[in-house]
Amino acid sequence: MGHTEFLTYQKFNDKNLAEDLTSVLAKEGIEFVFEDDTPHFDVSFANNETDKTYLVKLKSIDFKRVDDILTKLSTSQIIDADPDHYLFGFSNEELKELLLKSDEWSKYDFLLAQKILKDRGQTIDDSNLALLKNQRIEELAKPEKSQRLSIMAGYVFAFFGGLIGIFIGGHLYSHKKTLPNGERVYSYSDQDRKQGKIIFSISVISAIIWTIYRLANT
């Protein structure tokens, strides 16, 4: 049996939203992969919950089927949308930002935001949505801001034991993020990745030296 690759269908920062989608997929009998794409090692040491990333992956042949299922399901639901739903309290700009970041929201919220904007006289068509999608991908593809503090910490750990420096350097050099279209790109700039590679190399050498030193003194 040939291997079928699962590709990212949607990315969430909210685990509950991701699980809402997987429950629909399970009910429809559609194979999926749920993946926590949050970095296992936080080079900023901030442990920020807003940086959590959850991926729902599908076989490419199921993308359109799932789109149709979610669109049909959500379209019928928004007809009777609760007037107290939080999206009705969003400004036009906030709703447009939701459309821009549709990869972080449910299909229901995405369609309801469009309906609210249209009811308010805002023009939202397929060309607008395609433009927003391309704009979002371009924005997400940009490298993360400079990891100066993490690089400094990496060098310190590299010279004093090496183990944590290996994690920091390896993460800076090799970590990738997944874009809404399924493409994976390096998370950090070329300059930061170069520093990560140096930190990794120094850390490995340092770890070897410290190991030999400890063995020689036991």
- pLDDT, tens digit, 9 for 90 and up, residues 52-72: 788 899 988 898 899 899 989
Q: Letter for the amino acid at 41?
A: F
- pLDDT, tens digit, 9 for 90 and up, residues 10-35: 888 888 888 999 999 999 999 999 98
Cα separation, 22 vs 10, whole angstroms: 11
Cα separation, 56 vs 37, whole angstroms: 10
- pLDDT, tens digit, 9 for 90 and up, residues 112-167: 999 999 999 998 888 988 999 899 999 999 999 989 999 999 999 998 867 889 99
Residue 114, CA atoms < 13 Å, CB-side half-sphere: 21
Q: What pLDDT was estimated at residue 213?
A: 82
- pLDDT, tens digit, 9 for 90 and up, residues 189-207: 999 999 999 999 999 999 8
Cα separation, 8 vs 156, whole angstroms: 37
Is the distance from CB of 12 to CB of 109 less than 8 angstroms? no
Q: What are phi and psi of 121, to 5 degrees?
A: 85, 15
Give Cβ neighbours of residue 109 (< 8 Å, ≥ 6 apart). 87, 98
Is the distance from CB of 102 to CB of 130 less than 8 angstroms? no
Cα separation, 152 vs 155, whole angstroms: 5
| Residue 147 CB neighbours (<10 A) | 24
